[in-house]
Structure 1
Amino acid sequence: MIVRHMKDIIGSDREVETDEFISRRIILKEDGMGFSFHETIIKAGTDMFIWYANHLESVYCISGKGEIEVIGGETYTIEPGMLYGLDGHEKHYLRAEEELRLMCVFNPPLTGREVHDENGTYPLLD
């Protein structure tokens, strides 16, 4: 059984921070669960292009307000209690009107050090 506390993840190598977000990687590939699980804080004012060409992602909003604009599709308001699943590798813009606190699941699981490349993609790492 795996038991983790956020206080132990903050400031560790399982926390990745960029200008746009803070990703706290709670469950990773090395944990052998078949997915990874993250708390992600999207900073207020962020407008990011993302394309998970190599991963599927589900996102559940805990707090804040923003939107996801699917390129060639609809725009959805993100607010507490809303979940979206990127089951088709959708290219999208993620915008945070207020700081967003999101819980995210990735398949295949992340290793823990990924950051978005120039295409808004996480590479597949071993």
Structure 2
Amino acid sequence: MIVRDLESARLGDRLVNSNGWDSTRLLLAGDEMGFSFHITRIHAGTSHEFHYKHHFESVYCISGEGQIEELDTGKVHQIRPGVMYALDQHDRHRLSATSEMVMACCFNPPVTGQEVHREDGSYAPIAENA
């Protein structure tokens, strides 16, 4: 059984900080669960473009408000507590926060915790991070 405390994890190397967001990686590839699980905070007033070409991601909004834009279609979806979205087509998207958003995220394949977003908004394929 794996038991981790969010606040304790934020004090160590499981907290990944970036420009306008941070993510606490509660489960990683090394935990051998087949997915990774993160609690991510998107800072108020920020906007971020992502394109997970090599990963699927599902996201559930715990708190805060914002929107996600499908960059290939221009379609915009409002995000608020209780809303989930899944990037089932490796969707290129822009996530914008009106207020600080706290999101629960799952990645498949799992991330290792060492990934850095590349210029195109993606993480490298899992084989490159092994």
- In the alignment, what sits opposite 1:58? 58
Give the CA deviation at 1:18. 1.0
* CA distance in 2 between partners of 1:31 and 1:90 (Å): 26
- In the alignment, what sits opposite 1:121? 122
* CA distance in 2 between partners of 1:34 and 1:111 (Å): 11
Number of residue pairs matched? 126
- In the alignment, what sits opposite 2:84? 83
Letter in 2 for 1:11: L
Structure 2 matches for 1:67-82, cutoff 5 A?
Answer: 67-73=67-73, 74-82=75-83
Where structure 2 has 5 or more consecutive residues not aligned to the other structure, the ranges are none
* CA distance in 1 between partners of 2:114 and 2:12 (Å): 12
Give the CA deviation at 1:107. 0.2
Structure 1 residue runs of 4 or more that deviate by more than 3 Å after TM superposition: none
Where structure 1 has 5 or more consecutive residues not aligned to the other structure, the ranges are none
- In the alignment, what sits opposite 2:95? 94
* CA distance in 2 between partners of 1:113 and 1:95 (Å): 24
- Structure 1 length normalisation: TM-score? 0.97
Give the CA deviation at 1:27. 0.3
Query: For residues 11-57 of structure 1, what are the alpha-carbon distances to aligned partners after superposition, in whole Å with 9 as ceiling and x for unaligned?
Result: 21110001121100000000000000000000111111110001000
Instruction: Give SS of 1:120's match.
Output: coil
Instruction: Give SS of 1:9's match.
Output: helix
Give the CA deviation at 1:99. 0.6
- Structure 2 length normalisation: TM-score? 0.94
Residue 31 in structure 1 maps to residue 44 in structure 2: no
